[in-house]
Amino acid sequence: MNADQLWQLLFDPPNAQWFEQRLDHFNSTDSRTWKQKYFQAGPASSQTLFVLIGGESSISEGWMVSGQWTEYAKEQNAARLQLEHWFYGDSHPTRDLSVDSFQYLSSEQALADLANFITAMKKQFEASKVIVLGGSYSGALAAWFRLKYPYLVDAAVASSAPVLAQVDFKDYLEVVAQSLNTFKPVNACDNAISVANAALKEKLKTPKGRKDLKKKFE
């Protein structure tokens, strides 16, 4: 982040807003709604929207003033929007994190959130072009959104997107282990996680163990 971007973040921060979102996009009998957080920056009136998709973390004011995507948006005189993924950050669609609540935490629902949001923003800005962007998980969402909702988006930028899902993705775990081992004492974090995983596997072998684990996540 350069000096100009830091100044903007400190003295002219992006405006946090809230979008009324449906809880379940695939159940027509469920009329419940909730408030989803998003940031808005750039021209208040623009024919082009750049939408940065939130992933598995809270959205950030810093991303609204820095990063290559902001430069692309400025070149196109585009408004910048960043939508937070539900169940992360300040976007809480349910009162708790129970198993029943987590039935709504899916990529399909997240894509439907995005479709609903973009539909409303296109009307608000009277925009004709929309570009969605994301990295890692949100990069996959960007690619999937372009495939599933081509009538709402003109282009998608999917950075490091894991679109080829694998059931047993050992390569990813190896990279995580390498990162953990950069902390001292070496292998301490890696070993602690291995011990915890072994304990979980033992718990899953018996009805009592599974019951105990279920209680911890209720």
Q: Which CATH class is domain 3-159?
A: alpha beta
- At position 50, the amino acid (one-letter code) is F
Residue 117 is predicted with a pLDDT of: 98
Q: Does position 4 have pLDDT exceeding 70, yes or no?
A: no
37, 18 in Cβ contact below 8 A? yes
Cα separation, 10 vs 68, in Å, equals: 20
Confidence check: pLDDT of 216 > 90: no
Domain-wise residue ranges, the chain: 3-159, 170-216
pTM for this prediction: 0.79
Mean pLDDT of all residues in 177-187: 84
Cα distances (angstroms) measured from residue 156 to each of 43, 92, 197: 21, 26, 37
Which residues, at least 6 apart from 114, have a Cβ–Cβ distance to it below 8 Å?
Answer: 51, 53, 83, 132, 141, 145, 149
pLDDT > 70 fraction of the chain, expressed in percent and rounded: 94
Predicted local distance difference test score (pLDDT) of residue 5: 62
Mean pLDDT of the residues in the chain: 91
